[in-house]
Amino acid sequence: MKILVFLALLGLHSAAAVTHSLKYFYTASSQVPNFPEFVAVGMVDDVEMIHYDSNTMTAEAKQDWMKAVTAGDSQYMERQTGGLRGTQQSFKANIDIAKQRFNQTGGVHIYQYMYGCEWDDETQEVNGLRQIGYDGEDFLLFDLKTETWIAPKPQAEITKHKLDNDQAGNAYRKNYLSQICVEWLKKYVNYGRSSLMRTERPSTHSLLQKTPSSPVSCFATGFYPDRADMFWTKDGHQIHEDVERGEILPNHDGSFQMSVELDLSKVAPEDWRKYECVFQLAGVKDITIKLDKTVIRSNEGSSDFPLGAVIGGGVVLLLLVVGIIGYFLWKKQIYLI
């Protein structure tokens, strides 16, 4: 899995509510205009809980419930800030090393490191994740079972051999992913339950069409969390042909929006009644809209067609894809590649 793709799809996994995740992302960048050279983010169930970047040089809690997590440790944020300042320098050095490995000089380059765990609170199944990416492609991946590293790129072989020889470090990394990370995840979920478990139905769920010959877009906005799904069905069965699914995008108020288009060029008028758009969100009854000309909103002669919100959300997502980048626990981590 390409790490940049992974970042873009953070909100597109199953709507199952029993699987929780704790993930940290570090990103160092080179020559990206108007963007910090280093950003670190920690996320619980894909909700940002802590943030650091090279502009502010300060670790910041992003959720109110984090105050309860750190209530017994007044120096918690100070320690994270100090550690991340050191990590920032190491990651800057990593970009220089990677550029040498790939025989590169200038230009835009991005080095990323992601790690964390997933926990199913029903089956108790645990899954650990740890991988490194460079310029949008996998560079190194940690095999939790064998406690060894996989190098998809020849330029990563040097680092792979160095890390494979660090048996004590790899044993620690496995223990962190399968034990320590899960303990922290359960703690975060417990403190943030009221926020992390809340669900909100879409404030708007409608059919949109730019022109009579354009695809029909099923649009939903104002829902929470982002673990939602929306699709078209024909005669009650989900279809994929002639369907284009959009990404889940954040709104300015913390809620989310999404859309899924249906190309009508192959749909006979008499078959319209066979099609429905279905929106699914855990804890909420499925919401459906039948394909009906009388309920389709168009922008022809109207100024309230909400495609601007969709386009604006795409810009926000682009910033998030660049900016969703990782976070702390610097002890025993990988810095110099």
Is 334 within a domain?
no
Residues 154 and 218 in one domain: no
Residues 126 and 260 in one domain: no
Residues 142 and 259 in one domain: no
Averages of pLDDT over runs of 10 residues in the chain (337 residues) are 39 51 94 92 90 95 87 88 92 91 91 94 90 93 95 94 95 95 93 81 92 92 89 95 92 89 92 95 89 84 42 35 33 49
Asked if 17 and 152 count as a contact pair (C-beta separation under 8 A), the reply is: no
Contacts of residue 60, Cβ cutoff 8 Å, sequence gap at least 6 = 50, 51, 52, 77
Is 333 within a domain?
no
Is 293 within a domain?
yes
Angle 6-10-14 from CA coordinates, rounded to 5°: 110
pLDDT of res. 255? 86
Contacts of residue 240, Cβ cutoff 8 Å, sequence gap at least 6 = none
Domain that residue 71 falls in? 3-195+319-323
> Which of 289, 137, 267, 265 lies closest to 202, judged by CA?
289
Is 80 within a domain?
yes
The CATH number for 267's domain is 2.60.40.10
Residues 156 and 231 in one domain: no
Residues 58 and 143 in one domain: yes
**Cβ neighbours, 10 Å, residue 85:** 16
Residues 32 and 126 in one domain: yes
Residues 127 and 166 in one domain: yes
Q: How many domains does the chain have?
A: 2
Any idea what DSSP says for residue 215?
Answer: P
Residues 270 and 127 in one domain: no
Query: pTM score, two decimals?
Result: 0.67
Is 77 within a domain?
yes
Residues 70 and 191 in one domain: yes
Angle, helices 157-164/167-175, rounded to nearest 10 degrees = 80
Residues 190 and 220 in one domain: no
Is 261 within a domain?
yes
Any idea what DSSP says for residue 153?
Answer: S
Residues 93 and 58 in one domain: yes
CA separation for the pair 120, 2 (Å, rounded): 24
Residues 188 and 233 in one domain: no
Residue type, 304: D
Is 270 within a domain?
yes
CA separation for the pair 37, 103 (Å, rounded): 21
The CATH number for 98's domain is 3.30.500.10
Contacts of residue 72, Cβ cutoff 8 Å, sequence gap at least 6 = none
pLDDT of res. 248? 92
Is 309 within a domain?
no
Kindly tell me the sign of the dihedral angle through the C-alpha atoms of 124, 195, 14, 146. negative
